[in-house]
Amino acid sequence: MAHLLHTTFLPSSSSLPQKSCLSSCPSHISSSRTRVHAKIREIFMPALSSTMTEGKIVSWVKSEGDKLSKGESVVVVESDKADMDVETFYDGYLAAIMVEEGGVAAVGSAIALLAESQEEIEEAKSKAAASSSSSSPARDPTPSAAAPAPESTVSVDKAVLVAPPSPSVVASAVHPASEGGMRVVASPYAKKLANELKVELGRVIGSGPNGRIVAKDVEAAAAGAAELGSTAAKVSGAPSVHAPPGFELESVVPFTIMQGAVSRNMMESLSVPTFRVGYTITTNALDALYKKIKSKGVTMTALLAKATALALVKHPVINSSCRDSNSFTYNSCVNIAVAVAIDGGLITPVLQDADKVDIFSLSRKWKELVDKARAKQLQPQEYNTGTFTLSNLGMFGVDRFDAILPPGTGAIMAVGASQPTVVGTKDGQIGMKNQMQVNVTADHRVIYGADLAAFLQTLAKIIEDPKDLTF
């Protein structure tokens, strides 16, 4: 989603009208601007989500001195939810990088300077050096533009940065090394493949534009490594072993941007009065349905989300939300957020209108969302619009657990594994059934015990007779 930030034109010539005249004499502004022969703009940290207060520079797609065109990707920024390419809104040259890769900057603070022409690059570098020596570190939330501009024939403006609106493929970059001026640039999918295939990007030669590493380069490198490993194993007579990534015991590791956001949300959750209700649901019929339609691409997560959505339609208070402690909202949409663990954090992709979408489309959408989540490419509307949350640890063999209520929602349901259980039948016999435990954590300011019990009874009926899930 594109975020356009306000810009401020700062005349630097001592003969130009001062700030007071800029607001009262518009005719002077026009004539003054024509006398400005050079312009330097600040590239500053954009707000990529409504909850973002700071961002981390994942990688610079461009290097200092590179020519930029409007709409071209300049930097990859890690927000509290995803990695996103950020584009320049002006033509020019990337004159000076003020926040290096791995650095963190507050939203609105300068991270680089953009020069209008090559002649202004050195002037921009001088300004960046002066700003770095006189300002606080990158985490300081005060934008460097707040400092008085030194007198010069060069003006300083702000370069608007834009995040692309939900592209099908978002160009990204990864620079694992910067020593000696070496920079490795890769696409997001190549980065994902490299992580999965244990390929070191610094050793891969890119075949894309300007040497950019693409997926086929990573696959070729992985195939070559596998061939070498096989040969070595034959020579040594022992299989190759991949050592797990090392870590230092008792070391202090700072939160990532995402972990910090999760931490703040969890602390906020402590202020909400909650209660928990558990329920046992027989899953024989659901398991049989899943086995029947699994080959068509249907996932168990989609089936559970669909069943939950149909139950929420009949119990709208469970789908409500309370955000101000004085009122609550009956949400018009049933959007099921499902917790997904990703590298370095947790995110909840949202299946929107899950009650209305057929199970096959819902399953395809879920797979797409999971892929985007793990590549950190989710758009804000794909993770912040949930009205009810599912957390499923059943696939790990967990039989029961409690979940923490996400702020701004009415309830979250923790789903355990379905397991064969010996039960007594109505005729007094002993039988075997597959059963799972679900535990719901709810906001007690809005939802009461009887409401939740009725919802769980409806959910159990849908799961135990799942004929409506395939319509």
Is the pLDDT reported for residue 139 higher than 60? no
Question: Is the pLDDT higher at 301 or at 146?
Answer: 301
**Span of 244-248, 345-349, 380-384 with lowest mean pLDDT:** 244-248
Is the pLDDT reported for residue 81 higher than 60? yes
Query: Which of 175-179, 341-345, 382-386: highest mean pLDDT?
Result: 382-386
Cα distances (angstroms) measured from residue 468 to each of 9, 62, 285: 60, 53, 12
Angle between helices 215-236 and 188-197 (to 10 degrees): 10
How confident is the prediction for the chain on average, in pLDDT?
75
Per-residue pLDDT, averaged over 257-278, amounts to 83
Domain boundary among 129, 154, 189: 129
CB atoms within 10 A of CB 316: 16
* Domain-embedded: residue 21: no
Cα distances (angstroms) measured from residue 275 to each of 49, 327, 442, 459: 30, 19, 6, 19
Per-residue pLDDT, averaged over 393-402, amounts to 91
* Domain-embedded: residue 224: no
Let me know if 3 is a catalytic residue.
no
| C-alpha torsion 111→115→121→122, nearest 10 | -70
Q: What is the pLDDT of residue 151?
A: 38
Distance CA 454, CA 469 (A): 20
Q: What is the pLDDT of residue 349?
A: 93
Per-residue pLDDT, averaged over 204-209, amounts to 72
Distance CA 158, CA 408 (A): 35
193 HSE (CA, 13 A, CB side): 18
Is the pLDDT reported for residue 468 higher than 60? yes
Q: What is the pLDDT of residue 137?
A: 46
Burial class, 218, CB count within 10 angstroms (exposed 0-12 / middle 13-18 / buried 19+):
buried
* Domain-embedded: residue 369: yes
Structure confidence by residue, pLDDT tens digits, 158-197: 444 544 443 333 333 333 333 333 456 777 677 777 887 8
pLDDT band at residue 312 using 50, 70 and 90 as cut-offs: very high
Domain count, the chain: 2
pLDDT band at residue 303 using 50, 70 and 90 as cut-offs: very high
Is the pLDDT reported for residue 26 higher than 60? no
Per-residue pLDDT, averaged over 95-104, amounts to 81
Domain with 331 in it: 267-464
Is the pLDDT reported for residue 268 higher than 90? no
* Domain-embedded: residue 79: yes
Q: What are phi and psi of 50, to 5 degrees?
A: -70, -20
Under 8 Å between Cβ of 287 and 420: no
Q: What is the pLDDT of residue 271?
A: 81
Q: Report the predicted TM-score, pTM, of the whole model to 2 decimal places.
A: 0.56
| C-alpha torsion 323→324→328→329, nearest 10 | -50
Supply the CATH number for residue 377's domain: 3.30.559.10
Supply the CATH number for residue 81's domain: 2.40.50.100
List the catalytic residue out of 3, 37, 315, 444.
Answer: 444
Within the chain, what is the greatest distance between any pair of CA atoms?
Answer: 98
Q: What is the pLDDT of residue 51?
A: 64
* Domain-embedded: residue 347: yes
Per-residue pLDDT, averaged over 408-418, amounts to 94
* Domain-embedded: residue 81: yes
Q: What is the pLDDT of residue 130?
A: 75
> Any residues with CB less than 8 A from the CB of 64 and at least 6 apart, and which?
94, 95, 96, 97
Query: Percent helix, strand and coil across the chain, each rounded to 5?
Result: 35, 25, 45
Q: What is the pLDDT of residue 458?
A: 97
Is the pLDDT reported for residue 281 higher than 90? yes
pLDDT band at residue 437 using 50, 70 and 90 as cut-offs: very high
Any alpha helices (H) in 25-160, and if so which ranges? 26-34, 121-134
* Domain-embedded: residue 152: no
- CA dihedral for 290, 292, 293, 297, sign (positive or negative): positive
Distance CA 78, CA 101 (A): 11
Domain boundary among 78, 112, 129: 129
Is the pLDDT reported for residue 61 higher than 90? no
Any alpha helices (H) in 328-448, and if so which ranges? 359-374
If you write DSSP's letter for every residue of 272-338 in order, what string do you get?
S-EEEEEEEEE-HHHHHHHHHHGGGT--HHHHHHHHHHHHHHH-GGGG-B-SSSS--B--SS--EEE
Distance CA 11, CA 23 (A): 13
Distance CA 383, CA 339 (A): 10
Question: Is the pLDDT higher at 172 or at 304?
Answer: 304
Residues 274 and 422 in one domain: yes
Distance CA 388, CA 318 (A): 8
Distance CA 101, CA 83 (A): 13
* Domain-embedded: residue 444: yes
Q: What are phi and psi of 427, to 5 degrees?
A: -90, 15
- Counting residues of the chain whose pLDDT is more than 90, the rounded percentage is 31
Domain boundary among 95, 111, 129: 129
Question: Is the pLDDT higher at 321 or at 344?
Answer: 321
